[in-house]
Amino acid sequence: MVKATYIVFILLVGIGLEAVAQTPAGNRMTNRDSIRRGHGVQDPRILAQKRDQFLKLYNNPDSVQKLRFDKMNFSHWPDIHVFKRISELRSTGNNYQRIGKGVSVSPRLKTIILSNNNLRHLRFQRNDSVKKLILSENNLHRIPRSVRKLPQLEQLDLTHNQIRRIPHWMGRLKNLKELGLNYNRLKINNRTFKRLQHLTLLQMGANHLTRIPDNIDLLTHLKNLNLGKNEIASLPTTFANLDSLETLIFYQNRFKYIPPEIFHLHKLTELDFYYNALDSIPEALGSLTDLKHLFLAFNQIQTLPDTLRNLKKLTHLYLHHNQLRKIPGWITELPRLKVLGIGFNKITSIPDFSVMPALVELDFQHNQITQFPWRLLQKPNLRLLFVRNNPLGLSTPNYKKLQYIANELLKRGVIVIY
C-alpha cells in the first residue's frame, strides 16, 4: 500500500511545560540541567548524550531547519515554539499518548513525522505550509480532526493504527494526494470514496476488507491502489473505470481468477496477485501491454497463455510456487525481461535463456529439470542464478566443472546457487 527527515523535541521531566515556557531565558538552562540529571539515571551514555545535543539547539534556534528528537522515552510534548525556521519536525519512538497544541508551530514547516509514539490524541494548530504528515505505528482510533487545519497537506500516512472510518471532513482536504491506511480496522462504504476523490495513491491493505463499494470509480485520479492482505474475492464492474491506475496490488486476497475488470486498465505497469487461489491466467492479460512488473507467485497456475508474449515492456516476472510444467519458448522473446522467477514448480525443461539480452536474474530451483543450462554461465550480464534442487544428474567431472565456474563467477560478483 508504498520514503524524510524529522522531528526533535524535548521532554521536561518533573517541570510543567507551561512553566518552562514562561521561565526567563537565564533560568532555563538550570532547568535543562535538572532534566539532564534525571534522564541520566536511566541511560547516562545514550539518552543524556542525545539530550545534550538537542539542548544545544536552543542556543541558536534560528539556525535549525530540521528538528529531530527520537527514542527518548518521553511521555510529554516539549516547548519548541522558539524553532520558527524549521521545515521538518521528527519525533519517533517515544511514548506520547496525547499531544496538545505546539506541533505545527513553524510557518516554514513542511514535514511532520510522529511515528511509533503510542499516540491516541493529537491536536494541530493551523498551518498553511505543512505538506507531509506521518502518524504511522501509533494507537489512533480515528483520524485526528485537527488534521483539517493543515489545508495544504498532500501526503498523510496512518499505517498501523486502529482507525475504523474516513471522516466526512476529509473531503475538504483538496490538496491531499496520498493516503496510507494499511493495517487498520477500516469499514468502508459508498461514503468513503466520496471523501477521497482527489487521491492519486491509496493504501488500504490489511484491513480485513471483503468487498469494494460500487462507487470506487469516483477515484478518477488514482494511480496507485494497494488492497493487499484483505479478503476480497471479486470486483464491482465500475472498477474497470479506474483507467488512470498504474499500480494495483491484490497481494494475499481470495481471488480464484483475475477479474475481467482489470483488463480495461491499460495504463497498468505493476500488477500483484501474490498469494491468491488463481489456477489459470486469462488470455486477456496479454492486452495490458504497458506492464513492467507482474507478480503471480504462490498460486495454482498450470499454464501460461501465448498472449503473454505481447508484454514486451515486462522487466520482472514472478511465477514461482505454482503448478507450471512447461515454460514456452516465446518467453525468450521478451526483450526487456531482467528478472524471472519460476522456482518451486513442476517444470521438466527450459528454453535457452542465454539468448535473452536483458536477463540478469533467473530462479528455477525446486523443479524437475534434468539438463544443466551450461550456456547461461557464459551470459556476460548474468548476476544471479538459482538451480538447486533439480534432478540434474551431474557426473562427478561435470559437478567439479560447475563448482570451478561458479567460484570464478563469484569473483566477478555473479552468484550461482546449485
C-alpha cell at 178: 496520498
What are the phi and psi torsion angles at 345 (to 5°)?
Answer: -125, -155
Helix (H) or strand (E) holding 31: helix 25-40
- Cβ neighbors of 391 (< 8 A, separation 6 or more) are 368, 369, 370
Position 203 scores a pLDDT of 98
> Cα(307)–Cα(43) distance, rounded to whole angstroms?
63
**β-strands 361-363, 339-341: how paired?**
parallel
- Please, are residues 390 and 365 in contact by the beta-carbon 8 Å criterion? yes
pLDDT in tens, 341-382: 999 999 999 999 999 999 999 999 999 999 999 999 999 999
Gap between the Cα atoms of 164 and 186, Å rounded: 4
C-alpha to C-alpha distances, 402 to 102, 353, 409, nearest whole angstrom: 65, 18, 10
Query: Residue 361 and residue 340: Cα distance in Å, rounded?
Result: 6
Domains, the chain: 278-418 (3.80.10.10)
| Cell numbers linked to 134 | 506521518
User: What string of pLDDT tens digits covers the 418 residues of the chain?
Assistant: 433 333 333 222 222 222 222 333 333 333 333 333 333 335 668 888 888 888 899 999 999 999 999 998 888 899 999 999 999 999 999 999 999 888 888 999 999 999 999 999 999 999 999 999 999 999 999 999 999 999 999 999 999 999 999 999 999 999 999 999 999 999 999 999 999 999 999 999 999 999 999 999 999 999 999 999 999 999 999 999 999 999 999 999 999 999 999 999 999 999 999 999 999 999 999 999 999 999 999 999 999 999 999 999 999 999 999 999 999 999 999 999 999 999 999 999 999 999 999 999 999 999 999 999 999 999 999 999 999 999 999 999 999 999 999 999 999 999 999 9
Where helices occur in 188-248 by DSSP H, the ranges are 190-194
pLDDT digits (tens, 9 = 90+) for 222-271: 999 999 999 999 999 999 999 999 999 999 999 999 999 999 999 999 99
